[in-house]
Structure 1
Amino acid sequence: MKTPELAVALVMLILAWSTAVIAAEPESQSDRPNIVFVLIDDLGWNGTASYGNKLVKTPHIDKLAAEGAQFNAAYAMAQCSPTRFAFMTGQYAARTNHTAVIMEKHCMPYARMIQPESNRSMDKNLFNVGRMLKQAGYHVGQVGKWHVDLGEMGPQRKVLGRDYIAQWGWEEMKSSPDFKLEDDAKGVMKMTNAALHYLDTHRDQPAFAYLAHHTVHTRVEAPERLVQKYIDKGFARALSKQPKISERHCADFLAMIDYVDESIGYLMEGIEELQLERETIVIFMSDNGGLERLWDMAPLRRGKGSEYEGGIRVPLIVHWPSKVAAGQVIDKPVHIIDLYPTFMEIAGGDAGSHHLDGVSILPLMDGRGGFDRAAIYMHTPLYIPHYNKTPSSLIRTDDYKLIYFHGDYLHENDYKTVIPGERYELYRINEDISEQENLTDAMPEKTAELKAKLHAWLEETGAQMPVINPDFDPDGWQFKTSSRLDYQGNVILRDVSEGQKKKK
């Protein structure tokens, strides 16, 4: 016969076990939240007021941050396609070899390094983040910039219509039939309406809406009323849709940021008006750093296309009132590859045999703790002449960042001058966010430690590496954009340097 104390202990044990099992199980179909992922194109880390923008007020985005979690050290790749590949796969570009923009190819036969070829289309059978969510019981929709398939630049997308992205398991979201808005530059509000319409018409199951805006990427286009607003404030109208650096902070570009903020207000108000039975999480992020000729990234160094912070550090805000406490500012480094496992945890999904490099960032936000990743990595083994970029890789820990330039690098004071030679740069990034003091000589042991970790990671991921070019001509080659690809992968010459012409 059990004693009262033993009986009580047994009951408590059973209750504890039951609670643990319930907590470990995914939420029921009716309880699981909708997810809206808003990805802005080319919005710099300091592009919103909550991140330091002093020129444009962004009250709706600021409210999103104030009511949720703002990440101050979130990273994406330095350009659009590699970031989107990383989001879709949950894997580093070093592992997938998705390192280039799908239609960019810079032919430089006399440069110091021979660049490895990049994968330019996502495998249609890949267990991407959309397929994972779909398997977990979510409706999965997308609108806007796809940019993970070279074929989309050709007639296939127009011919297939809504069936185009279905090849990867996604639905194309459409705006509601009654939506009409004049002067909706870049379709910002129409696409936002498409996300709301998708939530409204898919109430039976949780929905994932991937809202991939084309703004604030050039061409600079915004509603005329907003452009005039900034002209009235003293900013000049852009002289063309592709402004030069002398036109930085033009009224048109500031108006584009303003319009993004208005769209977030429209999105949040629309979600409230839908009166959905389930909660809706909203995640706001940019795909890479800002374009330097349009926006000053200070205090960050450089901008889009660069391995320095201005090219890869981006805004990331998570709004989930029932789970994420308001007003959080999180300094732990995270990467866009972390969204796949984060969404998987939210949905109660399973990646199966699909390898994930990312980890869920929910423990950083919901109070559980236990997020102990040692480092994040990046690998871009290419020349990107229009962004003054040479082949590089990097490792970022909580306190330090080490950049490895594989065979040449840029002069510190003249980004048009390329200096032959391997180079490492070490920064105490938590204190030197502007990357001004290279500590490789002052801290040889830390440099060696991070160098070993970086090269071990490159080997583990099977990273495609640039190699020394036996035809290197230091006098004959020029650091200039030379070509691009058509939708079939054919090279189209654009601007071949005189040095290269003479060699042919």
Structure 2
Amino acid sequence: MMQGRWNKPGQVLLVLMLWVAGSARCFGDSETRTNILFILADDLAWSDLACYGHPWHQTPNIDRLAAQGMRLNHGYASAPICSASRASLMTGKTTARLGFEFVTKDQPGFQKIEGATLLQAPPLTLNLPLQETTIAEHLSGLGYETAFFGKWHLNQHHGGYLGWSPTHGPAAQGFEIAVEDFGAHPYSWKRSPVASIEREGEYASDSMVDQVCDYLVEKRERPFFAMASSFYVHTPVKTPCKWLVDRFDRVIPQGIPNRDRRVTYAAFLQTLDHHVGQMLDALDASGQADDTLVVFMSDNGGHPEYVSNAPLRGSKWNLYEGGIRVPMIARWPGSIDAGTQSDVPVIGYDLLPTFVDVAGGTADHVDGASIRGVLKGESQRADRSLIWHFPYYHPERGYKDAKQTIGIDDFRVSQTRPQSALRRDQYKLLWFAEDDRVELYDLKSDPGEQHDLSQSSAETAEALRRELQRKLKSMKARMATRRGRKVAE
């Protein structure tokens, strides 16, 4: 039961032999088009991976992907929170333009949070609008087969937490193949108890990952876009792999904050890495790896109670670097040089125009820009700005008791207030709606955002502030307002 179909190395060799012996390539060399495999992790911190410098996390499969391709050191999620980030990358538009800035809920209405002096956040957005053109719809129009596996989180919860809607789920947003499955993530444990795994090297079988692998080795007449949207490393952070917990209990130094949680998290993270390895092995076994662009990234920054986001400030839920800068890796044999890095700032809403560009098309009316040139080692244009908009509060429960300030490695959930941000070159401006206040940081010299330059570099701060406000206005961004003012549902 514990060994899934894609847990055994011999399985990969067998499929590869059958592929070579039993069939020719589906396309001639002149007709080959690039497949796209997009692996999206959940709540993975920028500093979590060994290839990004983590001192004890073990992520050999993701590290291998980076060694074979490019590590984007200034890759950003479009939002510091799940649904908003996913809506943005799926459409190529900012959360401000979409009006989808928070997480989806069971019911419509307004954010429920205590505090009479707080601003009123905009009404909740529950579904990605069907009139938006998704990556899948763009690529289907270019002759691609499209498939989605895993976490969607872009519709009102249907039949339970994270349940797919029949009217707004992946099948309604352009995906021909859509598989709803929690796999082995603790979300599924209520349905099937998981026994402790003692044997080293053994993991729980994950049906979601198995289905991705099965899909990747299938022969098909069309190029594919497959999105593997993992539930890892989102809470609840639990693992049946006792051997992994024991390993990290020996490795992780004594006396560090939240040590017990971080031991379990390290084991949880290595499970994600194992799943990525299974998918990469399946792609290799299919014989299509050389014709496939693989992109790996996280939907937002790490959870402050489980990870260190250092050297970055903040965490999931806020717009400091720890909340939005994420690991982003791309491999594309023949187009991306192996073992390369880029410091060009890129963002989640760049993915749609990039994938469409790779597929041979163009994407109009989007906020993102194709980073195909960046992946080949070129620089992005110098006059480009990235934008974020988060007109909400967090946490919704226990806000008064949350930490009031946001630092580096607080290991506690902090109060996040309505805010927006803009990055241009090395400068990043944050604007806070409650008191119309700004902070300015030079990320080149101060990646931890410790030295506010808004007073000493007032001219730069004012120029970026005007640009941010102009962009938000042009995008018809929804704003948090004073209570008592009428806000339309």
> Scaled by the length of structure 2, what TM-score is found?
0.79
The one-letter code sitting in structure 1 at the alignment partner of 2:343 is D
What does residue 59 of structure 2 align with? 58
What does residue 302 of structure 2 align with? 290
The one-letter code sitting in structure 1 at the alignment partner of 2:243 is R
How many Å separate the matches in 2 of 1:400 and 1:369?
A: 17
How many Å separate the matches in 1 of 2:461 and 2:124?
A: 29
Q: Relative to 1, partners in 2 of residues 1:333 and 1:158: Cα closer, same or farther, differing over 3 Å?
A: closer
What does residue 479 of structure 1 align with? none
List runs of 5+ in structure 1 lacking aligned partners: 1-26, 176-180, 237-244, 408-420, 472-489, 491-504
Asked if 2 retains the 8 angstrom alpha-carbon contact of 1:156 and 1:164, the reply is no
What does residue 86 of structure 1 align with? 88
Q: Aligned ranges for residues 218-237 of structure 1 at < 5 Å? A: 218-222=235-239, 223-233=241-251
**By how many angstroms is 1:109 displaced?**
6.2
How many Å separate the matches in 2 of 1:467 and 1:83?
A: 23
What does residue 450 of structure 1 align with? 464
How many Å separate the matches in 1 of 2:465 and 2:117?
A: 25
List runs of 5+ in structure 2 lacking aligned partners: 1-27, 182-193, 396-412
Worse overlay, 461-470 or 31-40: 461-470
Are 1:390 and 2:390 an aligned pair? no
Q: Aligned ranges for residues 417-432 of structure 1 at < 5 Å? A: 421-432=435-446
The number of equivalent residue pairs is 418
**By how many angstroms is 1:151 displaced?**
3.9
What does residue 364 of structure 1 align with? 374
**By how many angstroms is 1:247 displaced?**
4.5
Q: Relative to 1, partners in 2 of residues 1:442 and 1:372: Cα closer, same or farther, differing over 3 Å?
A: closer
What does residue 432 of structure 2 align with? 405
Are 1:433 and 2:447 an aligned pair? yes
Asked if 2 retains the 8 angstrom alpha-carbon contact of 1:106 and 1:383, the reply is no
What does residue 168 of structure 1 align with? 173
Asked if 1 retains the 8 angstrom alpha-carbon contact of 2:441 and 2:451, the reply is yes
How many Å separate the matches in 2 of 1:187 and 1:81?
A: 27
What does residue 342 of structure 1 align with? 354
How many Å separate the matches in 2 of 1:133 and 1:92?
A: 20
Asked if 2 retains the 8 angstrom alpha-carbon contact of 1:195 and 1:211, the reply is yes
Q: Aligned ranges for residues 31-110 of structure 1 at < 5 Å? A: 31-76=32-77, 77-103=79-105, 105-108=111-114, 110=116
State the SS of the aligned residue for 2:36.
strand
**By how many angstroms is 1:262 displaced?**
1.8
The one-letter code sitting in structure 2 at the alignment partner of 1:102 is T
User: Deviation string for 1:42-69 (max 9, x for gaps)?
Assistant: 1100010111211112222112112211
Q: Relative to 1, partners in 2 of residues 1:187 and 1:340: Cα closer, same or farther, differing over 3 Å?
A: farther
**By how many angstroms is 1:277 displaced?**
8.4
How many Å separate the matches in 1 of 2:329 and 2:338?
A: 11
> Scaled by the length of structure 1, what TM-score is found?
0.76
Q: Relative to 1, partners in 2 of residues 1:283 and 1:115: Cα closer, same or farther, differing over 3 Å?
A: same
**By how many angstroms is 1:447 displaced?**
0.8
State the SS of the aligned residue for 2:327.
strand
How many Å separate the matches in 2 of 1:295 and 1:49?
A: 14
**By how many angstroms is 1:157 displaced?**
4.8
> % of aligned pairs identical?
31
The one-letter code sitting in structure 2 at the alignment partner of 1:112 is L
**By how many angstroms is 1:164 displaced?**
4.8
Are 1:279 and 2:291 an aligned pair? yes
The one-letter code sitting in structure 2 at the alignment partner of 1:133 is L
The one-letter code sitting in structure 1 at the alignment partner of 2:268 is M
Are 1:469 and 2:489 an aligned pair? no
Asked if 2 retains the 8 angstrom alpha-carbon contact of 1:80 and 1:147, the reply is yes
**RMSD of aligned residue pairs (Cα, Å):** 3.0
The one-letter code sitting in structure 2 at the alignment partner of 1:441 is Q
Asked if 1 retains the 8 angstrom alpha-carbon contact of 2:43 and 2:232, the reply is yes
**Greater C-alpha Rg:** 1
How many Å separate the matches in 2 of 1:174 and 1:438?
A: 45
State the SS of the aligned residue for 2:37.
strand
Are 1:138 and 2:159 an aligned pair? no
